[in-house]
């Protein structure tokens, strides 16, 4: 079964940037005193863009939608065109895993935030990771 024009139109209107949860997370991170870049590629030559990027700490944050990334809690599998959607979502999961591995091999930490997560709690988790990764850098810059 092929995707209907109505479904195609509805799906094309889904935002991939500056979603409600992404904006709420960014506001919470900013309120926590963190400064960051948005929608940047952590690695040259890799066509993957982080939603929030902490360059010096090498932390890349990705805000994943429950449908598009196959959330273990909230994923739904459409009945119409099921084979297409299963392949699409599984492909997204494989790409996410590949991205995380590429970043880790380059010294980066990939952090995944699900759209259903509380943005304040997610920001707290991200903040702790960023500060922990900054601490060794700050210590190495101090004079003896």
Instruction: Specify which residues 109 forms β-bridges with.
Output: 59
With respect to residue 106, please indicate whether it lies within any of the assigned structural domains.
yes
Looking up tokens 């099921």 gives: 82
User: What's the chain look like in SS3?
Assistant: CCCCHHHHHHHHCCCCCCCHHHHHHHHHHHHCCCCCEEEECCCCCCCCCEEEEECCCCEEEEEECCCCCCCCCCCCCCCCCHHHHHHHHHHHHHHHHHHHHHHHHCCCEEEEEECCCCHHHHHHHHHHHHHHHHHHHHHHHCCC
Instruction: Report the alpha-carbon distance of residue 57 to residue 108 in Å, rounded.
Output: 8
With respect to residue 94, please indicate whether it lies within any of the assigned structural domains.
yes
Identify the pLDDT of residue 144.
53
Identify the pLDDT of residue 11.
54
Residue 138 pLDDT greater than 60, yes or no: no
Angle at 76 between CA 75 and CA 81, to 5 degrees: 135
Whole-model pTM: value is: 0.84
Domain count, the chain: 1
Instruction: Report the alpha-carbon distance of residue 141 to residue 144 in Å, rounded.
Output: 9
Domain that holds residue 98: 69-126
Identify the pLDDT of residue 81.
87
With respect to residue 140, please indicate whether it lies within any of the assigned structural domains.
no
- List, for residues 97-117, the tens digit of each pLDDT value: 999 999 999 999 999 999 999
- List, for residues 4-58, the tens digit of each pLDDT value: 666 555 555 555 678 999 999 999 999 999 999 999 999 998 899 999 999 999 9
Task: Identify which has the larger pLDDT, 72 or 7.
Answer: 72
Instruction: Report the alpha-carbon distance of residue 110 to residue 53 in Å, rounded.
Output: 10
With respect to residue 96, please indicate whether it lies within any of the assigned structural domains.
yes
- List, for residues 111-136, the tens digit of each pLDDT value: 999 999 999 999 999 999 999 999 86
With respect to residue 87, please indicate whether it lies within any of the assigned structural domains.
yes
Identify the pLDDT of residue 5.
65
Residue 77 pLDDT greater than 90, yes or no: no
With respect to residue 5, please indicate whether it lies within any of the assigned structural domains.
no
Cβ of 25: how many Cβ atoms within 10 Å? 24
With respect to residue 101, please indicate whether it lies within any of the assigned structural domains.
yes
With respect to residue 75, please indicate whether it lies within any of the assigned structural domains.
yes
């Amino acid at each position: 079964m092929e995707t209907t024009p109505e479904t195609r139109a509805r799906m094309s209107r889904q935002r991939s940037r500056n979603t409600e949860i992404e904006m709420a997370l960014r506001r919470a991170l900013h309120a926590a005193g963190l400064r960051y870049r948005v929608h940047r590629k952590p690695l040259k030559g890799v066509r993957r863009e982080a939603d929030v990027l902490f360059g010096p700490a090498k932390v890349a944050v990705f805000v994943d939608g429950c449908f598009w990334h196959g959330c273990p809690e909230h994923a739904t599998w459409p009945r119409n065109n099921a084979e297409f959607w299963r392949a699409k979502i599984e492909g997204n999961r494989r790409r996410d895993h590949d991205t995380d591995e590429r970043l880790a091999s380059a010294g980066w930490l990939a952090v995944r935030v699900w759209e259903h997560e509380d943005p304040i709690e997610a920001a707290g988790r991200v903040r702790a990771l960023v500060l922990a990764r900054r601490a060794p850098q700050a210590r190495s810059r101090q004079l003896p």
